[in-house]
């Protein structure tokens, strides 16, 4: 492993590096082709507008959407806000269904809408993080206007059955919004075959820069109507005002094009690396708990709990490896993961969890190094616990 370069990055679920091919497409739009895409009276603006149009096509192609159905945003959080608040402001009242394991960018918006008078239902999940389709069907009532369920969970990688959810929502005449931030570019997302009406995505999860994302809004069968949340310029068909981030949008488009061209091959490669990491850790350590759905999960995602140790203690000692003990967006909150809690994990189990995120630039030698380091450190920490007179695998209460 002498060719390894430390530290090793294994937190691709939190963010990804910008692919060099993406950066190369972006660079001319900073100092050369720097026009405002709304300035249609001269060549600088016209060229910028053409670049945005190409990026819109690239994003739409990855989703099997129409170009006019793609709205550019600053990221998935804004896209989620625009989707949920936009629908709510259009219909004025009604019932919204989501799940207890959604990202805070959805849960917090739903909580806000509940304060405005919308009725809210949070679906339970099973021990693998999956919803019950029958429970979803039973939760839908005559005043249900929107179902919001993510494609892939950021903490445990579990995939929701999007096509089945979409078919159910369509049969009941309810809109289906999907937070696709973790899934787009990693697994196949087809908004037509899956019956998705609104979908949010983020550039920095698929090797584009931070600060750019998109919202897909279905234009027919049915035509989805949303109210704009930012006004002041009329950009993006009047639904999202503000000068377009041309370099970021160009990068997002190129990133979608690259991801689409290698989706299956890259997925298979990451599954092999993920399984290798899992096997090299669990074959040598007792007391390892797997979190998520073994069959239906993201290719490069692995969540493991280690009895008798603290995830944050592990991370603090693994300074040569970038890992997460939970969702990056809430890693500074001193409470157990709401996702793991909803899946029935105890506070101790949640506190002993590490999330491994592999991506495009992860190689096998890095996986082997990480496995060896984790196994060695867990064994060392457990010996320390036993030497302190505690029972084997007794878990210490540690705030995360």
Calpha distance 38→352 (Å, rounded): 51
Structure tokens given for 67:
């170009």
Overall average pLDDT of the 254-270 stretch: 98
- Which distant-in-sequence residues (6+ apart) come within 8 Å of 308 by Cβ? 287, 352, 378, 381, 382, 385, 392, 393, 394, 395
As a whole number of angstroms, the distance between CA 297 and CA 301 comes to 7
Task: Give the 3-state secondary structure of residue 348.
Answer: helix
**Whether 169 is catalytic:** no
Over residues 169-198, the pLDDT tens digits come to 999 999 999 999 999 999 999 999 999 999
Q: Which candidate in 25, 31, 169, 329 is catalytic? A: 329
Asked if pLDDT for residue 396 goes beyond 50, the answer is no
pLDDT at residue number 3: 76
Instruction: Give which of 82, 124, 37, 334 is closest to 225, Cα–Cα.
Output: 82
Mean pLDDT of 133-144: 98
Q: What is the Cβ-side half-sphere exposure of residue 279, based on CA atoms within 13 angstroms? A: 6
Under 8 Å between Cβ of 10 and 358: yes
- In this prediction, residue 325 carries a pLDDT of 85
Alpha-carbon dihedral of residues 331, 333, 336, 338, nearest 10 degrees? -80
For residue 234, how far is the Cα from the chain centroid?
29
Q: What are 31-81's pLDDT values in tens digits?
A: 999 999 999 999 999 999 999 999 999 999 999 999 999 999 999 999 999
pLDDT at 2: 56
**Local structure of residue 326 (DSSP, 8 states):** S
Exposure letters 172-204 (e unless 16+ CB within 10 A, then b): eebbbbbbbbbbbbbbbbebeebbbbbbbbbbb
Contacts of 170 (CB under 8 A, 6+ apart): 176, 195
How far apart CA 198 and CA 170 sit, in angstroms, is: 13
Position 329 pLDDT exceeds 80 = no
Give the pLDDT band (50/70/90) at residue 335: confident
Which tokens hold the place of 327?
Answer: 């969702």
pLDDT tens for 111-126 read 999 999 999 999 999 9
In tens, the pLDDT along 22-38 reads 999 999 999 999 999 99
Domains of the chain, first to last: 8-16+263-387 (3.90.1150.10), 20-261 (3.40.640.10)
In the numeric block, the tokens 């005559």 are attached to: 142
Give 27's contacts (C-beta < 8 A, 6+ positions apart): 247
pLDDT, average across residues 253-262: 98
Two structure tokens written together for 261: 């061209």
Residue 355, pLDDT above cutoff 70: yes
Q: How far apart are CA 199 and CA 193, in angstroms?
A: 14
In sequence order, which residues have a C-beta less than 8 Å from that of residue 255 and are 6 or more positions away?
19, 22, 185, 203, 206, 207, 208
For residue 95, give Cα distances in angstroms to 7, 119, 139, 200, 303: 47, 5, 10, 20, 33
For the chain, percent of residues with pLDDT exceeding 70: 93
Cis peptide preceding 7, ω within 30 of 0 = yes
Q: Averaged over 324-342, what is the pLDDT?
A: 71
Tokens of 72: 């550019």
Q: Mean pLDDT over all residues of the chain?
A: 93
Confidence tier at 110 by pLDDT (50, 70, 90): very high
- Residue 397's pLDDT is what? 31
- Largest separation between any pair of C-alpha atoms in the chain: 78
CA 300 from centre of chain: 12
pTM summary value: 0.94
Nearest CA among 59, 67, 69, 63 for reference residue 192: 63
Contacts of 192 (CB under 8 A, 6+ apart): 64, 65
Please state the rounded mean pLDDT for residues 306-327.
88
């Amino acid at each position: 492993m002498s060719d390894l370069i430390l530290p090793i990055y294994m937190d691709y679920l939190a963010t990804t590096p910008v692919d060099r091919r993406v950066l190369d497409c972006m660079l001319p739009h900073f100092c050369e082709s720097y026009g405002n895409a709304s300035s249609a009276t001269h060549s600088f603006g016209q060229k910028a507008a053409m670049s945005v149009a190409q990026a819109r096509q690239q994003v739409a192609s990855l989703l099997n959407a129409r170009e006019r159905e793609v709205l550019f945003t600053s990221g998935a959080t804004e896209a989620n806000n625009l989707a949920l608040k936009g629908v709510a402001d259009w219909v004025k009242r009604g019932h919204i269904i989501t799940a207890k394991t959604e990202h805070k960018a959805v849960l917090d918006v739903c909580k806000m809408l509940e304060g405005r008078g919308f009725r809210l239902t949070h679906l339970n999940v099973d021990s693998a993080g999956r919803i019950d389709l029958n429970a979803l069907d039973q939760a839908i009532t005559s005043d249900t206007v929107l179902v919001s369920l993510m494609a892939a969970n950021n903490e445990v990688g579990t995939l929701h059955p999007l096509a089945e959810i979409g078919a159910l929502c369509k049969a009941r005449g309810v809109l289906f919004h999907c937070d696709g931030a973790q899934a787009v570019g990693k697994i196949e997302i087809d908004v037509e075959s899956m019956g998705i009406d609104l979908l949010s995505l983020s550039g920095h999860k698929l090797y584009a820069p931070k600060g750019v994302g998109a919202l897909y809004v279905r234009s027919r069968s049915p035509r989805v109507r949303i109210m704009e949340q930012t006004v002041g310029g009329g950009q993006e068909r009047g639904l999202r005002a503000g000068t377009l981030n041309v370099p970021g949008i160009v990068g997002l488009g190129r990133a979608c094009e690259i991801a689409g061209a290698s989706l299956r091959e890259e997925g298979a490669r990451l599954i092999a690396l993920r399984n290798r990491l899992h096997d090299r850790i669990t074959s040598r350590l007792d007391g390892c708990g797997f979190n998520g759905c073994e069959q239906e999960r993201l290719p490069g995602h692995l969540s493991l709990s280690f009895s008798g140790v603290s995830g944050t203690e592990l991370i603090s000692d693994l300074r040569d490896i970038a890992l997460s003990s939970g969702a990056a967006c809430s890693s500074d909150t001193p409470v157990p993961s709401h996702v793991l809690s909803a899946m029935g994990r105890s506070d101790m189990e949640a506190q002993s969890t590490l999330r491994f995120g592999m991506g495009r630039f992860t190689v096998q030698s890095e996986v082997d190094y990480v496995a060896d380091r984790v196994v060695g450190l867990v064994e060392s920490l457990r010996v320390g616990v036993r030497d302190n007179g505690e029972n084997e695998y007794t878990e210490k209460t540690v705030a995360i």
